[in-house]
Amino acid sequence: MTSPDHSQLLETIAQLSRDVESLSAELSETNAGVVALYSELDDRAEQLKHASDLKSRFLSYMSHEFRTPLGAINSLCRLLLDRVDGPLTAEQETQVRLMRDSSQELTAMVDDLLDLAKVEAGRVSISPEWFDMVDLFSALRGMFRPILNGSAVDLVFEEPRNVPDHLYTDHKKLSQILRNFISNALKFTTQGQVRVTAEYSGGDNVTFAVTDTGIGISAEDQATLFNDFVQLDSPIQKRLRGSGLGLSLSKKLAELLGGCVTVSSEPGVGSVFAVTIPLRMTGAQASETPQHFPPNWKPSVDGR
């Protein structure tokens, strides 16, 4: 015979076992729910990736298709301006120049879109090589000379400070970043100076900075500047067009070079746009490793 205590105990155990069973059923239901959620998340991630691939593909096809007709318009404008097919009146010349400027602006935008699409699709190849700092600055100086003709703004390239004569990186991408910083600085500065500097910035890094005495940017706007298609409201902006892609592309290119971009600015005083990159790209940043060392290259003290 079972004692009352004993049967009570059995009853409690039976109750507990029912509780465990119902808990376990609940848990397996929750588990099934979590699994379903995970698979839904996977689906969403897949859809997002697909959408992003489609966007990149659309941008690159579109940009590619635009290049040919734009190239034709540019060439035809050049022929007309060179008077290959006879003289132009002053008014016709103004009109053809306007056509040429608009088509060049569109070409620059198409190029930026194509570059962005390539970066987003992971299809930009970085080709680091040794190059001379002096050559980089003199090429940039030459590029901007025609734009500066008669301008009230000076473009000054300072002697690099504490930077080796030769750097090992993709100088075309670096030059593309600096070109956009300088052209922005010249666009948004009506008088004063645009100063380009290169300075050792600790570790194995060099910082290139473009400082202007232009309209400046509020702290709030600085936060969004590096996003695609951002253009701030200003009287200058209304006069000059552009696509708002230059800074976002510059940021992505700097990251591909193993570096970053920064901005500091004060409205009415001016802005400093800077890019910091390694003096020498390493194997992790580029698939290629340095093959040739320049004759005057000395390794840094810690042997890196």
Ligand X SMILES: Nc1ncnc2c1ncn2[C@@H]1O[C@H](COP(=O)(O)OP(=O)(O)OP(=O)(O)O)[C@@H](O)[C@H]1O
Residue 115 binds to ligand X (criterion: CB under 6 A): no
Shortest Å, Cβ 192 to ligand X: 12
When CB distances are held under 5 to 8 angstroms depending on the partner's kind, the choice from Mg ion, ligand X, none that residue 237 binds is: ligand X
- Minimum CB separation from ligand X for residue 265, in Å? 7
Q: Does 225 bind ligand X (CB under 6 A)?
A: yes
Long-range contacts of residues 76-82, Cβ cutoff 8 Å, at least 24 apart: 77/103
Q: Which of residues 241-260 bind ligand X (CB under 6 A)?
A: 242-248
Report if residue 231 touches ligand X, rule: CB under 6 A.
yes
232, 260, 264, 294: residue in contact with ligand X (rule CB under 6 A): 232
| Contacting positions for Mg ion (CB under 5 A) | 180, 184, 246
Residue 188 as a binder of ligand X (CB under 6 A): the answer is yes
CB closer to ligand X, 248 vs 285: 248
Residue from 56, 169, 184, 285 in contact with ligand X (CB under 6 A): 184
What does 215 interact with, of ligand X, Mg ion, none (CB < 5 to 8 A by kind)? ligand X
Segment lying near ligand X (by CB under 6 A), choices 86-94, 165-173, 228-236, 286-294 = 228-236
Site membership for ligand X, residue 208 (CB under 6 A):
no
| Residues between 27 and 86 with contacts to ligand X, criterion CB under 6 A | none
- Among the listed ranges 54-62, 133-141, 184-192, 281-289, the one in contact with ligand X (CB under 6 A) is 184-192
Max Cα distance, the chain (Å):
124
Q: Does 215 bind ligand X (CB under 6 A)?
A: yes
151 binding ligand X? (CB under 6 A): no
Whose Cβ is closer to ligand X: residue 163's or residue 247's?
247
Three-state DSSP string of the chain: CCCHHHHHHHHHHHHHHHHHHHHHHHHHHHHHHHHHHHHHHHHHHHHHHHHHHHHHHHHHHHHHHHHHHHHHHHHHHHHHHCCCCCCCCHHHHHHHHHHHHHHHHHHHHHHHHHHHHHHHCCCCCCCCEEEEHHHHHHHHHHHHHHHHCCCCEEEEECCCECCCCEEEECHHHHHHHHHHHHHHHHHCCCCEEEEEEEEECCCCEEEEEEEECCCCCCHHHHCCCCCCCCCCCCHHHHHCCCCCCHHHHHHHHHHHCCCEEEEEEECCCEEEEEEEEECECCCCCCCCCCCCCCCCCCCCCCCC
Q: How many CB atoms lie within 10 A of CB 258?
A: 20
Q: In angstroms, what is the minimal distance from the CB of 226 to Mg ion?
A: 11
- The site for ligand X (CB under 6 A) is made up of 108, 112, 180, 184-185, 188, 212, 214-215, 217, 225, 230-232, 237, 242-248, 271
